[in-house]
Chains A and B, each alone.
Chain A
Amino acid sequence: MADLTTEFLGIKSPNPFWLASAPPTDKEYNVRRAFEAGWGGVVWKTLGAEGPPVVNVNGPRYGAIYGADRRLLGLNNIELITDRPLEVNLEEITRVKADYPDRAIIVSIMVPCEEQAWKDILPRVAATGADGIELNFGCPHGMSERGMGAAVGQVPEYIEMVTRWCKQYYDKPVIVKLTPNITDVRKPAAAAMRGGADAVSLINTINSITSVNLDTMSPEPSIDGKGSHGGYCGPAVKPIAMSMVSEIARSPDTHGLPISGIGGITTWRDAAEFISLGCGNVQVCTAAMTYGFKVVQEMISGLSQWMDEKGYTSVEEVVGRAVPNVTDWQYLNLNYVAKAKISQDDCIKCGRCYAACEDTSHQAIAMSDDRTFTVIDEECVACNLCVDVCPVENCITMEPMAPGTIDPRTGKTVEKEYANWTTHPNNPGAVAAE
């Protein structure tokens, strides 16, 4: 079984699966149980400044989006940072770290954007023996109204400034957690880098209303008939998170900046995908909140099995492997031509491909009286919609056409050479191919 031991920013953990800063890591009791269950590390739920702790609402904190059989696909929350006294959290962190020296403990922090506030809390966090800190610049609800969380994460200058303070007053790794509620994630990432951040972690949760109660006309979760946007997470946000991760991984400004990946990671495969896009490790929350701490066992066994099958001996070998293949649309090979192919042996004749193609795509699937569905190559643009709507995996495939053959749709010969939009004759700004 592949060794999953991971070293992220010099912090060792037995596997790359950390619990993200969230309710599962709010106290000693949970964290001890998480470690017993096998989690490689935790990011302790965000600590605030000394003084009266924040208060939470006393009604529902979570809203949900479901798939079939009430499978939780998306979760949002309006919970704030820890509502327990700072001192209690610090004592607990100290105890747990002492008992689990092989596990990573990162302390998430969110205090006001004043140098003194950071100067005050950092030595106390350092005294716990925790392995590093994560700056919560992502929380999109409640705290952001008070000028913290996402309110900081949305202003690159603030990120840079606070990160610099932390690097000044704290000597262990500093991870900056980014909010996705911005237009270009590369800007805050670059700001964190300029401020001296050792890594970024992303994504934090996304502004969201999961549903509206149509009887009371209140957004959910509803507190006495009113709702506030919450932070969205869970499997539904994974594609958004992976795109943002990849942007940072491949941007010349931030390339090489370590990334801790967060966003809907539910299975080993999700984790492997994040890692391939440049994440040194991953953080998980919703999967644990949905299924309990035990889910990490599947993540560990699955990642190990896959690494064995592929011949990878360390997580490090996988990190960023897919990054070179993330590119801009303009560099995609326009001479690559594929056609959909329907396996008649696998087809169960539901006709969804036909409905999708006929009604909403290119009218490239024919249906016979006996419900045989076939692709009309003359019309097929290989859009993949039929593959996506087919309920049978691998029943419809996209078959690349061999160079030299003629695409019956265009009547043109499939070229062997790569050619993209930058040199395409239809592009007014085309440059001559070199």
Chain B
Amino acid sequence: MSSPQNSPMTPGIAAGRLPQETLADNFADLHAPFAPHEAAVAADRCYFCHDAPCVTACPTDIDIPLFIRQISTGTPEAAAKTIFDSNILGGMCARVCPTEDLCEQACVREIAEGKPVEIGRLQRHATDTLMAKQSHPYQRAPETGKKVAVVGAGPAGLACAHRLAMHGHDVTIYDAADKPGGLNEFGIAAYKSTDNFAATEVDWLLGIGGITIKTGMRLGDNLSLDDLTGCFPAVFLSVGLGGVNALHSEGEDKSGVRDAVEFIAELRQASDLATLPVGRDVVVIGGGMTAVDAAVQSKLLGAQNVTIAYRRGRDAMSASTFEQDLAASKGVRLMFNLQPTAIYGDGAAGEIELEYTSDDGSGLKGTGETIRLPADQVFKAIGQTLETTGGLDLEGRKIAVTGAGRTSRKGVWAGGDCASGGDDLTVTAVAEGRDAAMDIHATLSA
């Protein structure tokens, strides 16, 4: 084994805390793919329920019993078609869906024996099999000559574009980043999407034809909604939540304090994890998936001590129990009812002060009691916000939509994290993109 120049004990923010081999192990597939026999055994456990609860629980309504039966009869390719018919990003969803909160939670075997059918891994088995065998499984309808703009090449935008292209429309996707994929490419823990899967999936999806992607185009910057609506009879906005909430704590500007989403993106794009610096004592502020992804990956990069500090109790954490357990199993310490008050350090962060909180029913309040933790790196993971509204009506802090993603402006649809309604999940984004596409198609065909 090659010996790294640094170790988990190295003070400050340092790269190369772990040997390459350890890093490779740490960032390997979280759920290894099923071998064919494992898939057969797992598939045999499915009861082929009537009006299956797992389907109801799936935001994209994948016919799960059918695809599992197709796997069990030796046709994983047909199973994949069943999946892709409902969810063209079924490959990524198989990797990142919080199945423990969705299909697998609803599985009758979860109720019966606390051990659901492993739907997510079976879905991956099917989709991986087809994607490895076939360039693209769908054919475009004859071209309609109609043009649609999609803003944002994340899951919602890609799903929308694919469905529109399938129906023969010409789609142009604009994305602010230098490559498509959105959160699939930049926002997911590396061990959930190994081997550059997000990019591979986008390439595969584009195999439908009729989709052009223009990168480096940011709404409200070099792209305006008025221009788009002038050129396209339909526009779908799936710009996500580009802004990051601030801590509003003293010392937030010190070096070593940064946004968790930025760290996650940097890690996903890193070609050599040994060059990626991470603190010795890392504190992540937040209670969602982003907090867990940042914390776990910090630990896997070699941080000695990683703590997630969440201002509410465990029950309120939006990260699933599975994610919490994953963090704990990797050695991340989960602390609850703590909110940051100040970050201390001489220029760079060195210590964080946190105040205990309680909620007597009248809202969350600090108790006045504080603790300090060593913190040479602090990640903020307290939620993202919409960057630009494009002059559309909002609901809360998101673009207000009705029906299949219709915004307050005619000819403009929205879906994914930027739009109101639904959870901020990849699978929900796919469903919203797909459904908006069908509505756009109906509108354009009328």
Enumerate A331-362 residues with CB–CB distance to B below 8 Å.
348-352, 354-355
Is A348 touching B108 in the complex (CB atoms < 8 A)?
Answer: yes
Interface check A432, CB cutoff 8 A: no
Question: Given A354-B50, A355-B50, do A349 and B44 touch, yes or no (CB 8 Å)?
Answer: no
Contacts of B360 in A (CB 8 A): none
Interface check A433, CB cutoff 8 A: no
Is A348 touching B41 in the complex (CB atoms < 8 A)?
Answer: no
Is A371 touching B48 in the complex (CB atoms < 8 A)?
Answer: no
Smallest CB-CB separation from B43: which chain A residue? A68
Is B48 touching A352 in the complex (CB atoms < 8 A)?
Answer: yes
Interface check B141, CB cutoff 8 A: no
Interface check B49, CB cutoff 8 A: yes
Is A349 touching B53 in the complex (CB atoms < 8 A)?
Answer: yes
Is B53 touching A371 in the complex (CB atoms < 8 A)?
Answer: yes
Interface check B111, CB cutoff 8 A: yes
Cα A392 to Cα B109 in complex, Å, equals: 10
Enumerate A267-292 residues with CB–CB distance to B below 8 Å.
none
Would you give the shortest CB distance from B105 to chain A, in whole angstroms?
Answer: 13
Interface majority SS (helix, strand, loop, mixed), chain B? helix
Smallest CB-CB separation from B47: which chain A residue? A350
Contacts of B112 in A (CB 8 A): 348, 391-392
Interface check B21, CB cutoff 8 A: no
Is B109 touching A348 in the complex (CB atoms < 8 A)?
Answer: yes
Interface check A69, CB cutoff 8 A: yes
Interface check B51, CB cutoff 8 A: yes
- The number of residues on chain A lying at the interface, defined by a beta carbon within 8 Å of a beta carbon of chain B, is 14
Smallest CB-CB separation from A69: which chain B residue? B41
Is B41 touching A68 in the complex (CB atoms < 8 A)?
Answer: yes
Would you give the shortest CB distance from A370 to chain B, in whole angstroms?
Answer: 11
Selected contact of A350 from candidates B37, B40, B41, B49, CB within 8 Å: B49
Enumerate A70-102 residues with CB–CB distance to B below 8 Å.
70
Cα A69 to Cα B40 in complex, Å, equals: 7
Is A351 touching B44 in the complex (CB atoms < 8 A)?
Answer: no
Selected contact of A349 from candidates B37, B45, B48, B108, CB within 8 Å: B108
Would you give the shortest CB distance from B284 to chain A, in whole angstroms?
Answer: 38
Contacts of B52 in A (CB 8 A): 351
Smallest CB-CB separation from B51: which chain A residue? A351
Enumerate B5-59 residues with CB–CB distance to A below 8 Å.
37, 40-41, 44-45, 47-53
Contacts of A367 in B (CB 8 A): 50-51
Is B41 touching A351 in the complex (CB atoms < 8 A)?
Answer: no
Is B47 touching A391 in the complex (CB atoms < 8 A)?
Answer: yes
Contacts of A351 in B (CB 8 A): 49-52
Enumerate B205-221 residues with CB–CB distance to A below 8 Å.
none
- The number of residues on chain B lying at the interface, defined by a beta carbon within 8 Å of a beta carbon of chain A, is 16
Contacts of A371 in B (CB 8 A): 51, 53
Cα A240 to Cα B137 in complex, Å, equals: 46
Q: What does the 1/0 interface line of A376-395 toward B look like (CB < 8 Å)?
A: 00000000000000011000
Cα A348 to Cα B110 in complex, Å, equals: 9
Is B51 touching A69 in the complex (CB atoms < 8 A)?
Answer: no
Smallest CB-CB separation from B45: which chain A residue? A68
Would you give the shortest CB distance from A393 to chain B, in whole angstroms?
Answer: 11
Is B44 touching A68 in the complex (CB atoms < 8 A)?
Answer: yes
Contacts of B109 in A (CB 8 A): 348
Smallest CB-CB separation from A346: which chain B residue? B112
Is A69 touching B50 in the complex (CB atoms < 8 A)?
Answer: no
Is A350 touching B50 in the complex (CB atoms < 8 A)?
Answer: yes
Contacts of A68 in B (CB 8 A): 41, 44-45
Is A352 touching B50 in the complex (CB atoms < 8 A)?
Answer: yes
Contacts of A69 in B (CB 8 A): 40-41, 44
Is B47 touching A349 in the complex (CB atoms < 8 A)?
Answer: no
Cα A352 to Cα B112 in complex, Å, equals: 14
Cα A351 to Cα B107 in complex, Å, equals: 12
Contacts of B49 in A (CB 8 A): 349-352
Cα A141 to Cα B344 in complex, Å, equals: 88
Smallest CB-CB separation from B46: which chain A residue? A350
Cα A70 to Cα B74 in complex, Å, equals: 13
Contacts of A349 in B (CB 8 A): 49, 53, 108, 111
Would you give the shortest CB distance from A389 to chain B, in whole angstroms?
Answer: 9
Cα A354 to Cα B52 in complex, Å, equals: 12
Contacts of B45 in A (CB 8 A): 68
Enumerate B234-276 residues with CB–CB distance to A below 8 Å.
none
Enumerate B107-159 residues with CB–CB distance to A below 8 Å.
108-109, 111-112
Would you give the shortest CB distance from B47 to chain A, in whole angstroms?
Answer: 5
Contacts of A350 in B (CB 8 A): 47, 49-50, 108
Cα A371 to Cα B51 in complex, Å, equals: 9
Is A352 touching B47 in the complex (CB atoms < 8 A)?
Answer: yes
Contacts of A352 in B (CB 8 A): 47-50
Cα A167 to Cα B444 in complex, Å, equals: 91
Smallest CB-CB separation from A392: which chain B residue? B112
Would you give the shortest CB distance from A385 to chain B, in whole angstroms?
Answer: 14
Cα A355 to Cα B50 in complex, Å, equals: 6
Cα A383 to Cα B254 in complex, Å, equals: 75
Most central of A68, A70, A348 by chain B CB within 10 Å: A348
Contacts of B40 in A (CB 8 A): 69-70
Enumerate B63-116 residues with CB–CB distance to A below 8 Å.
108-109, 111-112
Cα A354 to Cα B51 in complex, Å, equals: 10
Cα A356 to Cα B311 in complex, Å, equals: 51
Cα A367 to Cα B53 in complex, Å, equals: 13
Cα A68 to Cα B41 in complex, Å, equals: 7
Enumerate A387-416 residues with CB–CB distance to B below 8 Å.
391-392
Cα A391 to Cα B48 in complex, Å, equals: 11
Cα A391 to Cα B44 in complex, Å, equals: 12
Would you give the shortest CB distance from A350 to chain B, in whole angstroms?
Answer: 4
Cα A354 to Cα B44 in complex, Å, equals: 21
Would you give the shortest CB distance from B46 to chain A, in whole angstroms?
Answer: 10
Cα A349 to Cα B107 in complex, Å, equals: 10
Smallest CB-CB separation from B44: which chain A residue? A68
Would you give the shortest CB distance from B395 to chain A, in whole angstroms?
Answer: 28
Cα A169 to Cα B50 in complex, Å, equals: 64
Smallest CB-CB separation from A71: which chain B residue? B44
Cα A367 to Cα B50 in complex, Å, equals: 10
Contacts of B111 in A (CB 8 A): 348-349
Contacts of B53 in A (CB 8 A): 349, 371
Enumerate A224-249 residues with CB–CB distance to B below 8 Å.
none
Enumerate A165-179 residues with CB–CB distance to B below 8 Å.
none
Enumerate B349-401 residues with CB–CB distance to A below 8 Å.
none
Cα A412 to Cα B91 in complex, Å, equals: 58
Cα A349 to Cα B57 in complex, Å, equals: 14
Most central of B44, B50, B109, B112 by chain A CB within 10 Å: B50
Would you give the shortest CB distance from A359 to chain B, in whole angstroms?
Answer: 9
Would you give the shortest CB distance from A260 to chain B, in whole angstroms?
Answer: 35
Would you give the shortest CB distance from A344 to chain B, in whole angstroms?
Answer: 12
Complex A-B: 13 CB contacts under 8 Å: A68-B41, A348-B109, A348-B111, A349-B49, A349-B111, A350-B49, A350-B50, A350-B108, A351-B50, A354-B50, A367-B50, A367-B51, A391-B47
A interface with B by C-beta (< 8 Å): 68-70, 348-352, 354-355, 367, 371, 391-392
7 residue pairs, one from A and one from B, having the closest CB atoms: A351-B50, A68-B44, A355-B50, A348-B112, A350-B49, A348-B108, A350-B108
B interface with A by C-beta (< 8 Å): 37, 40-41, 44-45, 47-53, 108-109, 111-112
Not counting A367-B50, A391-B47, a sample of 19 additional A-B residue pairs whose C-beta atoms are within 8 angstroms of each other reads: A68-B41, A69-B41, A348-B108, A348-B109, A349-B49, A349-B53, A349-B108, A350-B108, A351-B50, A351-B51, A352-B47, A352-B48, A352-B49, A352-B50, A354-B50, A355-B50, A371-B51, A391-B112, A392-B112
